Structure 1
Amino acid sequence: MDRPKVYVTRQIPEEGLALLRRVAEVEVNPVDAPVSRNELLKIVADCEGVIGLLTERIDAEFFDAAPKLKGYANYAVGFDNIDVPEATRRSMPVSNTPDVLTNATAECAWALLFAVARQVIPADRLMRSGEWPGWGPLQFIGGDVSGKTLGIVGAGRIGTAMARMSRGFNMPVLYTSSSNRRNEVLESELNARLVSFEELLEASDYISLHTPLNPGTKHLFGADAFVRMKPTACIINTGRGPVIDEQALLHALKTGEIAGAGLDVYENEPALTPGLAELENVVLLPHIGSGTASARADMAVLAARNLIAMLEGRKPETCLNPEIYD
């Protein structure tokens, strides 16, 4: 019996590839860069399964180019690159990789928060330059963290984990919910408060973004939002880049409307808005939120298990359109 053909659009940890190779013929993009759109559409023409990243657009054109396809697995928790309604219309299962990267991404948010608050990057740069003159009482004065108010925009898995990590710093926690649904974990453990978006902007010292990207959250943080924030506040984004209007952020950082920003994701990734890199009050990471050995390996295994289930006609563990199996 012929084994199904599977294409993986980027090299992922071997733990996932080894699982796939047990049941399928696996081809992996050998280059550490996104495959071009035209090349991708040619490659998937005879594939029964694909594992891809957020850089691939999975839409009607993609499905049309892959007549043998039995399923698509996203190697990511986000899935705004997938036209889920179109997949559902075609009864095509699609999946993502939630849960396994929750703590890694929450920890990355904290790394950004501290780096911004305590001016870690410019201080490190000065030390490496060999020009540090010695300790001075006015050098690199940053912001306090303990006792300051933490605002969580998007209190799902990662937002909840990030907030729970604040306990050691005795931070009051505010959170928003697009559905106005209470987060019982945060309220019972941290005495967190569900507030309006406007109140969160005005009261928070640190705002951490974990909301998914959709039409309602694109540019949620624009000029109006930054004006409402405290001039001493910092914004952290390990969620989805286009939630922030980067031109508005650039203006807010330059003019002192807010004190700082820590970004792991970008509006036009991998491109960076001109001017951000020159600012001392922003920390920029290359989308490493899930970048721990265990998280990346677990993502690969989950994506592989999902795809294997699809190939075998079973519902994947983290299916984005489970209704097609009803």
Structure 2
Amino acid sequence: MQTSPPDAKLSRIVNNTTTRPRVAVTRKLPDAVEARMSDLFDVSLRLDDTRMSQDELKAAIADCDVFVPTVTDNINADVIAAASSRLSLIANFGAGTDHIDVAAAHKCSLVVTNTPGVLTEDTADLAMAMILSIPRRLVEGDRRMRNGEFDGWGPTHMLGHRVRGKRLGILGMGRIGSAVARRAHAFGLSVHYHNRARVPATMERALDANWHETLEGMLAEIDILSINAPLTPSTRHLIDARTLALMKPDSYLVNTSRGEIVDEAALAEALAHGRLAGAGLDVYEDTPRPHPALLDLDNVILAPHIGSATHESRREMGEKVLINIRAHIDNHACPDRVLPPGTRLSLAS
């Protein structure tokens, strides 16, 4: 891709009074979002709700001013290199950007944005639903009912664990982790957390939250682990055979963040041999397929990546994309710009 200064790219869009910006979308979006995009821009929509191949991504990014991918797209350096000099913005439909080579985009003077904040509450709701349902074996009970395996109540039938009074460990106390903590506190769980930095004392007091300087120290004390950290080189396989061995045999794991944070083979091994009581997963290491060994386990809830799958969240994600695009083409700072780690913008950027 031939690079040019960001201001030059913007001027080509802003000064073009006869043609609307060309926007390429990689996945089927909610009807209302697509309709609004069509009103504002010259948009190329993905009518077939399937993932684009790498060749299709390259073809799409080569013919647009603004590129709108999703978490299912691998926007690596090769895809970015296929972009024409017209491209100036990658407006991601989603909060996570680990599927985008942000450093390569920045090197090519491309602005990258995401949609933070709007999926926080919905993802926290799903995490809390799993925290409540796994210890009580709710999904397992549903399966047994449908299979005709319930013969009536018994004193020892399908015993689970009480949630109130248990210790919840939160890995990653960002927006979603904090939202999970608020819910857990309301349900009477004791909140523990491990984060790169300690949260403000006012938040700790409000949630009666206990900070652990090391992940290992927290894992040994908790009853339930909720993973809410971003995927980075340092968090990939952070939960593996070694760290799982630190957890108590009657403890539970919930992951609504990124599948690659958990070594699923090690998790399946621990669950199958009683070294962990149960797990709830909404994301997978080899997405969209869970590790085959997990499929035969009754003590696992497997959700199809529905953490943010509400009508409200998807609509608000679309609105965020539109706001970032409009800000960019109007030569304003994008409110949700994403930069490579350690990068700072100059006042002129």
- TM-score bracket, normalised by the shorter chain, equals over 0.9
State whether structure 2 residue 80 is matched by structure 1 residue 51: no
Q: CA deviation at 1:232?
A: 0.7
Seen in structure 2, the aligned counterparts of structure 1 residues 131 and 232 have a Cα distance that, compared at 3 Å, is closer
CA distance in structure 2 between the partners assigned to 1:305 and 1:15 by the alignment:
15
Q: How does 1:175-194 map to 2 (within 5 A)?
A: 175-178=193-196, 180-194=197-211
Residue from 46, 55, 80 that aligns with 1:29: 46
Give the whole-Å Cα distance in 2 for the aligned partners of 1:13 and 1:312. Answer: 25
1:74 pairs with 2:92: yes
Specify the code of the residue in structure 1 equivalent to 2:345.
Answer: E
Q: Percent identity?
A: 39
CA RMSD between the two structures: 1.5
Give 1:43 shift. 2.2
Q: Pick which of 262-271 and 114-123 moved more.
A: 114-123
Aligned length: 325
> Is residue 138 of structure 1 aligned with residue 160 of structure 2?
no
Where in structure 2 are there 5+ consecutive unaligned residues?
Answer: 1-17
Residue 210 of structure 1 contacts residue 238 of structure 1 at CA under 8 Å; is this kept in 2? yes
Q: How far 1:283 sits from its partner (Å)?
A: 0.3
Runs of 4 or more, structure 1, over 3 Å off, are 183-186
1:70–1:311 contact (8 Å) kept in structure 2: no
Check 1:318–1:169 CA distance in 2 against 1; reply closer, same or farther (3 A cut). Answer: same
Shift of 1:258: 0.8
Q: CA contact under 8 A between 2:224 and 2:253: conserved in structure 1?
A: yes
Moved more, 310-319 or 151-160: 310-319
Residue 10 of structure 1 corresponds to 27
- Give 1:222 shift: 0.2
Structure 1's unaligned 5+ residue stretches are: none
Q: d(CA) in 2 for partners of 1:252 and 1:43? A: 43
**Partner of 2:173 in structure 1?**
155
Partner of 2:325: 307
Aligned-partner Cα distance in 2 for 1:160–1:182: 9
Mapped pair 1:251 → 2:273: no
Q: How far does residue 237 in structure 1 lie from its aligned partner after superposition?
A: 0.3
- Aligned residues of 1:154 and 1:176 also touching (Cα < 8 A): yes
Q: Given residue 48 of structure 1, which amino acid in structure 2 is its aligned partner?
A: D
Quote the Cα distance in structure 1 between the aligned partners of 2:194 and 2:143.
Answer: 36
Instruction: Give the direction of change, closer, same or farther, for the CA distance of 1:183–1:235 in structure 2 (3 Å limit).
Output: farther
Work out whether residues 11 and 30 of structure 1, in 8 Å CA contact, stay in contact via their aligned partners in 2: yes
2:184 alignment partner in structure 1: 166
1:70: how far off?
Answer: 1.5
State the partner residue of 1:295: 313
Q: Is 1:198 matched with 2:216?
A: yes
Task: List per-residue Cα deviations over 1:20-69 (Å, max 9, x = no partner).
Answer: 22331111111111011111211221111111111212232222211121
| Superposed CA offset, 1:268-306 (max 9, x none) | 101221110110011000000001111111011111221
The Cα shift of 1:213 comes to 0.3
Residues 48 and 311 in structure 1, CA contact (< 8 A), matched pair in contact too: no
Counterparts of 2:230 and 2:269, CA distance in 1: 24
TM-score, normalised by the number of residues in structure 2: 0.89
Tell me, what secondary structure is at the counterpart of 2:337? coil
Q: Secondary structure at the match of 1:118?
A: coil
Distance, in Å, in 2 between the alignment partners of 1:183 and 1:240 is 25
SS at match of 1:251: helix
The structure number with the bigger radius of gyration is 2
Contact 2:185/2:191 (<8 A) preserved: no
Are residue 278 (structure 1) and residue 300 (structure 2) matched? no
Report the Cα offset of residue 133 of structure 1: 0.9
Taking a change above 3 Å as real, the CA distance of residues 117 and 128 of structure 1, as seen in their structure-2 partners, is same
Out of 302-311 and 205-214, give the one that drifted further.
302-311
The amino acid that maps onto 1:203 is: E
**Structure of higher RCO (CA pairs closer than 8 Å, 6+ residues apart):** 1
Amino acid at match of 1:253: L
Choose 150-159 or 10-19, whichever is displaced more: 10-19
CA shift for structure 1 position 185:
4.9
